[in-house]
Amino acid sequence: MPRREGGQPRPLGMQRIPRMKHVLVVHGPNLNLLGEREPQVYGLLTLKQINDELKAMARQHRLRLRTLQSNHEGVLIDVLHAQRRWAQGVLINPGALTHYSYALRDAIAALGLPAVEVHLSDISKREEFRRISVIAPVCIDQVSGLGLKSYLLGLQRLLEFQPPASSKKA
């Protein structure tokens, strides 16, 4: 029977799931302009401020983050591939790639890692073309419309994620 910390037996079905330690944060096209671009939609926070808040939360949870922003789909895919063995989860705001990038969707799916899609604005209440996400089906969750809180709740969702019993390693 597996043992709990302190040597006490752990009941069957209560296997300890390792704490997530490494999260890759990916920001898509135009997010480098946050704070300037359409503040009535995206708010006044800059990307640096968002990353700083995520890093502060990560420190509280003894979590290491790597962050990247790119305006180029291929760069985002290359980073996902390159970081697949380091990362244990992915927090991603794909920007406009949300709505049409099957290549980015497939890259996320290929990782086999839990991913959470986040958006500052509520994409379900935006223009018709923005209401569709081709990324969401390969993510464990989507958080949108809460500004900075979308990112923080997305990171919290990754920290709380427990894979289904069928995907746990014995």
Distance of CA 152 to the CA centre of its chain: 10
- The crossing angle, in degrees rounded to 10, of helices 47-60 and 148-160 is 30
Residue with tokens 């497939």: 106
**Residue 99 buriedness (CB in 10 A; 0-12 / 13-18 / 19+):** middle
Give me the mean pLDDT over the 143-156 stretch. Answer: 96
Q: State the DSSP code for 9.
A: B
pLDDT digits (tens, 9 = 90+) for 81-127: 999 999 999 999 999 999 989 999 999 999 999 999 999 989 887 77
Q: Does 42 qualify as catalytic in the annotation?
A: yes
Give domain limits for the chain.
22-161
pTM: 0.84
Q: Single out the catalytic residue among 27, 42, 72, 100.
A: 42
Q: Single out the catalytic residue among 22, 81, 102, 119.
A: 119
Whether domain 22-161 has CATH 3.40.50.9100: the reply is yes
Q: Does 81 qualify as catalytic in the annotation?
A: no
